[in-house]
Amino acid sequence: MNANYIPHWRERPEVFRWCLILSICLSCCSVAVAEELLLGQNTPGRHPEMFAPGVVSTSHQDICLTHSPLGDEVIVTQSDLAWFPFLIQVTNTRDGVLHSRIPPFAGKYRDSYPCFSPDGSRLYFNSNRPEIDGDDPVDADRLWYVDRTDDGWAEPVYLGDTVHAYRYQTSPSVTRNGTLYFHAWVEEGGELVDADIFRCTLTGGRYNKPERLGTAINTDNAEFHPYIAPDESFIVFDACDRSDGFGGNDLYISYRGEDGSWTPARNLGSAVNTEFADMRPRVTVDGQYLFFTSDRHDSRDCLEIPADIDGCRDHLNGPGNGSQDIYWVEAGLLNLQ
């Protein structure tokens, strides 16, 4: 298969079946789909709350989460401190039992930053896996995808060299018409000097070369981890070292006009951003909730009562210990209306 060829859904009957299921679910019971996406968690309000402590938010680096638009699972990236990331697939059964596993195509290489296509038929991610079977892992981040089948997942497909103009390209996000957004690191003299957000459009089922977004999005500082709306009407991303920042990485939003131009990116404010790193946004398929990663935590000079060994272990080995966790909040702060 040509790695740069993106088959039309009419040529993929299994993809058509998933699209049909999604359209029925969304037209008949969009609220039920949203509830399934939430893994039985109590919903937050206008203040961010940690998502699924102990399952999705753990003592590890929980660095990115994506929801299946089909409403049956989330996939989260979890990593050790040496930054070896794994894709963790969490499914929610009818009786409310959560099951976690490594997807069958993952677990060997440094796989991270998953993102479902808006119809749920495809999962994009980045990896250092070899582009040709039998080769060594690449010294880079490359963009891949896997298609959903009746039996689970197909084999991963490399997006192709046309897309990869930079050695480190990561954090894919796609629109309904297949336009691909991601961020890439720019190198000078072998050093990573800047990160900007790019997009690749589709023409005749093939991706065109990446184009850097304009100055409404990208600046002389670094921009990361874009989430693009399915209709390309807005983009949420994180950036650092801006004059309106609160510290660490902050979340920003920009809106796309009918002429294709973007409004100057707006900081989402203290309702979501903190002095810590707040980053890697995703919005649920129903547009109700914003998910993101944060290493926020409560610093303490002492505890109210001395901890015993169990209390000590719970703190050290649980979420909220200063490593990255997944948070969520109502998406009203995005002002999408």
Per-residue pLDDT, 36: 57
State yes or no: pLDDT of 76 exceeds 60. Answer: yes
* Report for 8-22, 80-94, 118-132: range of highest mean pLDDT: 118-132
Lowest mean pLDDT among 32-41, 133-142, 213-222, 250-259: 32-41
Over 90: is that where the pLDDT of 291 sits?
yes
Of 1.20.120.450, 3.40.50.2300, 2.120.10.30, 3.40.50.300, the CATH number of 9-334 is 2.120.10.30
CB contact at 8 A, 232 and 261: no
Q: Please provide the average confidence, as pLDDT, over all residues in the chain.
A: 87
Which among 120, 164, 167 is positioned nearest to 146, based on CA atoms?
Answer: 120
pLDDT for 118 beyond 50? yes
Strand order in the sheet with 168-174: 168-174, 180-188, 191-200, 211-212
How far apart are the C-alpha atoms of 169 and 209, rounded to whole Å?
Answer: 13
Q: What is the pLDDT of residue 252?
A: 98
Q: pLDDT value at position 295?
A: 94
Q: Which token pair is 113?
A: 């930053």
Residue 128, exposed/middle/buried by CB under 10 A (0-12, 13-18, 19+)?
middle
In the predicted model, is pLDDT for residue 107 greater than 80? yes
Task: Decide if 44 contacts 306 (C-beta within 8 A).
Answer: no
The CA distance from 89 to 237, in Å, is 24
Which helix (DSSP H) or strand (DSSP E) does residue 236 occupy?
Answer: strand 234-240
Model pLDDT, residue 193? 74
- Digit-coded pLDDT (tens) for 142-170: 999 999 999 889 999 999 999 998 889 99
Lowest mean pLDDT, pick from 50-59, 69-78, 137-146: 69-78
Q: Where are the domains of the chain?
A: 9-334
- Which residue did the predictor score with more confidence, 114 or 19? 114
Q: Model's pTM, two decimal places?
A: 0.87
**pLDDT(27) > 80:** no
Mean pLDDT lowest for which of 109-113, 125-129, 179-183, 191-195? 191-195
pLDDT confidence bin for 39, thresholds 50/70/90: confident
- pLDDT computed for residue 218 by the predictor: 97
Where is average pLDDT lowest: 252-266, 282-296, 323-337? 323-337
- Quick: pLDDT tens for 192-229: 778 999 999 999 889 999 999 999 999 999 999 999 99
Amino acid at 302: C
Total residues found in the chain within this entry: 337
Residue 34 has pLDDT above 60, yes or no: no
